[in-house]
């Protein structure tokens, strides 16, 4: 996940409905197989994750690829072939858990379907995914066969052309979910899952949230911004008259993206050590919500968003929080950490209910640690009034317009 001053992506949103038309024999058999699973019958919206392929939280930090690394990768489509197959596999599982439904676009009930695409290091135009599929079908289907073998489910039939129509409909749902060439999001709709968070998990995540809140009060997020860009974006700002790079900062406690990153990093450090659940039973996301129309997010009830103490916030261009999906005994529960809106962790469906459903789009980024981000998210070496000093440079507060 990369920080920006404001990241605002708006996608066209068409509410998903079950696609009309036939299915393939493979999808029908897969549907019958998953419908026989007790956990899927009890809670299909979350427990389908038992058969989806997961990215586990990691302590490893990554650098962004440089130019030559990207150039080298561009010579091969292998990563993209695997990623498209990964998406199709996730959609097969989700569709089967929902009785064979094929959506017209992705919603929050298909959470996890985009994980591989969000972690792909190469540029990939989602609008051209159907053409890519047609040109790379043998390789994609070979990956699909491998994924189903590893899941110990049905054997995927590589040579059955009846699967092609189903897979193209899955890809059409992806295209309909992506107005930005390289980003697809989830539309909001009523959740199809049940979630009862255990006292043990609430206690653990509540402690994480409180510890992160304390940490965020001690740190700042550093920015290096081109003065010309500032002039274009905020002409009334005093910085608009300056040229060259501006060195600015914002307190981490006031930046939802910084707080979500710190929370995820803390959870990664705890998994497998003091946390009550192990690494293999947790999925970790940075969630972002963006408005469908206009500039600002719309709350579901009041005229503005409010802090836990009742303080009214100014309008938000976007908002970010942490989603922890906890697995216990084959049951998955989604919990959100968002100190800006709640003093305690809350179930995902409650958090989503605070945003206007028909005017909000959700992005779920599987968490990754980034060296670049951690170099920008620091405790200041020195302060002089409102100015801070770090790495031999002086940083001024980010203009209030941001």
CB-based contact 282:333 (threshold 8 Å)? no
84-93, 230-239, 387-396: which is most confident: 84-93
Please report the pLDDT score of residue 9 as a whole number: 30
- Taking the alpha carbons of 8, 12, 15, 21 in that order, is the dihedral positive or negative? negative
Please report the pLDDT score of residue 331 as a whole number: 86
Q: What is the mean pLDDT of the chain?
A: 86
Coil, helix or strand for 226?
A: strand
Give the model confidence (pLDDT) of 201-250 as tens digits. Answer: 999 999 999 999 999 999 999 998 876 444 434 333 333 344 578 899 99
Q: Is 392 left (phi over 0), alpha (psi -120 to 50) or beta?
A: left
Give the model confidence (pLDDT) of 281-316 as tens digits. Answer: 889 999 999 998 888 999 998 899 999 999 999 999
Give the model confidence (pLDDT) of 135-173 as tens digits. Answer: 999 999 999 999 999 999 999 999 999 999 999 999 999
Give the model confidence (pLDDT) of 90-126 as tens digits. Answer: 999 999 999 999 999 999 999 999 999 998 878 889 9
**Beta strand 319-328 pairing with 186-187:** unpaired
User: Measuring CA to CA, which residue among 219, 352, 336, 218 is closest to residue 267?
Assistant: 336
Tokens for 15, please give them: 């509410």
Percent of the chain with pLDDT over 90: 67
**Which helix (H) or strand (E) covers residue 346, if one does?**
strand 346-347
């Amino acid at each position: 996940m990369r920080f920006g001053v404001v990241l605002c992506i708006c996608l066209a949103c068409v509410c998903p409905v079950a696609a009309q038309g036939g299915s393939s024999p493979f999808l029908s058999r897969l549907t019958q197989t998953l419908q026989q699973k007790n956990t899927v019958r009890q809670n299909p919206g979350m427990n389908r994750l038992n058969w989806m392929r997961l990215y586990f939280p990691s302590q490893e930090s990554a650098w962004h690829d440089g130019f030559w690394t990207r150039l080298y990768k561009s010579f091969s489509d292998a990563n993209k072939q695997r990623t498209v197959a990964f998406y199709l596999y996730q959609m097969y599982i989700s569709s089967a858990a929902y009785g064979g439904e094929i959506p017209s676009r992705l919603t929050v009930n298909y959470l996890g379907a985009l994980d591989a695409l969000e972690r792909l290091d190469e540029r990939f135009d989602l609008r051209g995914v159907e053409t890519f599929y047609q040109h790379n079908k043998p390789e994609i289907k070979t990956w699909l066969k491998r994924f189903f073998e590893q899941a110990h489910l049905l054997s995927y039939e590589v040579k059955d052309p009846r699967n092609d129509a189903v897979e193209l409909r899955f890809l059409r749902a992806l295209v309909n979910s992506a107005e930005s060439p390289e980003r697809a999001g989830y539309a909001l709709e009523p959740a199809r899952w049940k979630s009862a968070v255990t006292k043990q998990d609430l206690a653990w995540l509540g402690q994480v949230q409180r510890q992160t809140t304390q940490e965020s009060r001690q740190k700042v997020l550093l920015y290096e911004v081109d003065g010309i860009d500032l002039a274009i974006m905020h002409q009334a700002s005093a910085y608009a008259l300056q040229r060259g790079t501006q060195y600015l900062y914002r307190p981490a406690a006031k930046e939802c993206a910084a707080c979500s990153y710190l929370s995820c990093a803390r959870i990664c450090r705890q998994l497998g050590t003091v946390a009550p659940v192990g690494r293999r039973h947790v999925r970790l996301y940075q969630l972002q919500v963006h408005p469908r129309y206009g500039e600002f997010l719309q709350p579901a009830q009041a005229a503005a968003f409010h802090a836990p103490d009742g303080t009214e916030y100014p309008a938000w261009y976007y908002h970010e929080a942490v989603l922890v999906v906890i697995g216990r005994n084959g049951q998955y529960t989604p919990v959100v950490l968002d100190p800006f809106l709640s003093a305690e962790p809350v179930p995902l469906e409650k958090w989503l209910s605070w945003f206007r459903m028909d005017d909000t789009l959700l992005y779920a980024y599987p968490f990754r640690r980034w060296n670049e981000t951690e170099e920008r998210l620091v405790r200041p070496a020195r302060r002089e009034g409102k100015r801070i000093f770090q790495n031999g440079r002086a940083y001024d507060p980010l203009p209030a317009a941001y």
